[in-house]
Copies of this chain bind each other. A is one copy, B any other.
Amino acid sequence: MSRDPSATKASLLAAARVEFAAHGAAGARVDRIAERAGVSKERIYGYFGSKDKLFDAVLDEVVEEVMEFVGEPGRDIAAYVRRVHDFHRERPDLVRLLVWEGMQGGGSCPNRRSRVEHYVRKNQAMAEALGLETAEEAAPLLFMFMAICSWSVVVPQVARLVLGEGIDTEDGRDRLRKHIGDFAEGAVTHIREQQSRV
């Protein structure tokens, strides 16, 4: 058909992303990926070797994208958190892929080097904004921000139970967004106070 290897590869990656985000590495079906890509599934093995390696390739790609799209935290940390929240809400793929990796994966963690680097950079930016001395001190904060920004993507059914059906409306989502911002704001002020007290 297309006789354009790089286009075929890209098409497979795109299809795989949809499938993996929806079902995880274990739940994904190779046939569905191939069909969505409009390509014989044999191409998956020709280009990527196996289903799992394809998953890793997708993850690489998405992590790369997020580095590009979500900037680094600036002075106004609550604003940054809201930005991250917006990104995850609009494109839940990354969060879902990470969660699948964490829940199904055997702790292999591909592309480790660059991912660590990515988070270190964010931690540094955050430490600077908070007046903390080392990046490590900011890490738990970053981690918890990720948690509150992602949670409603990960357990939407719990969100509906706890926050009410309103969470499915634009209005309800905005309200949660505001709470998330406030929550972050509170935590940051708390830290700043502890900081100045020393």
Asked if A158 and B102 make an inter-chain contact with CB atoms under 8 angstroms apart, the answer reads yes
Which of A102, A164, A182 gathers the greatest number of chain B CB atoms within 10 Å?
Answer: A102
Mostly, the A contact residues are helix
Binding-face segment, A49-57, A68-76, A143-151: A143-151
Instruction: Output the least CB separation between A125 and chain B (Å).
Output: 13
Chain B residues whose C-beta falls within 8 Å of the C-beta of A116 in the assembled complex: 161
Asked if B155 and A99 make an inter-chain contact with CB atoms under 8 angstroms apart, the answer reads yes
Query: Would you call A160 an interface residue if the criterion is a C-beta within 8 Å of the partner chain's C-beta atoms?
Result: yes
Query: Would you call A103 an interface residue if the criterion is a C-beta within 8 Å of the partner chain's C-beta atoms?
Result: yes
**Number of A residues contacting the other chain (C-beta, 8 Å)?**
58
Chain B residues whose C-beta falls within 8 Å of the C-beta of A140 in the assembled complex: 163, 175-176, 179-180, 183
Chain B residues whose C-beta falls within 8 Å of the C-beta of A27 in the assembled complex: 24, 26-27, 104
Binding-face segment, A10-18, A30-38, A39-47, A185-193: A185-193
Complex alpha-carbon distance, A11 and B63, angstroms: 42
Interface residues of A in 53-87 (CB under 8 A from B): none
Q: List 14 A-B contacts (CB under 8 A).
A: A23-B104, A98-B157, A98-B158, A99-B99, A99-B154, A101-B157, A103-B103, A105-B157, A109-B157, A109-B161, A119-B162, A140-B175, A154-B154, A187-B190
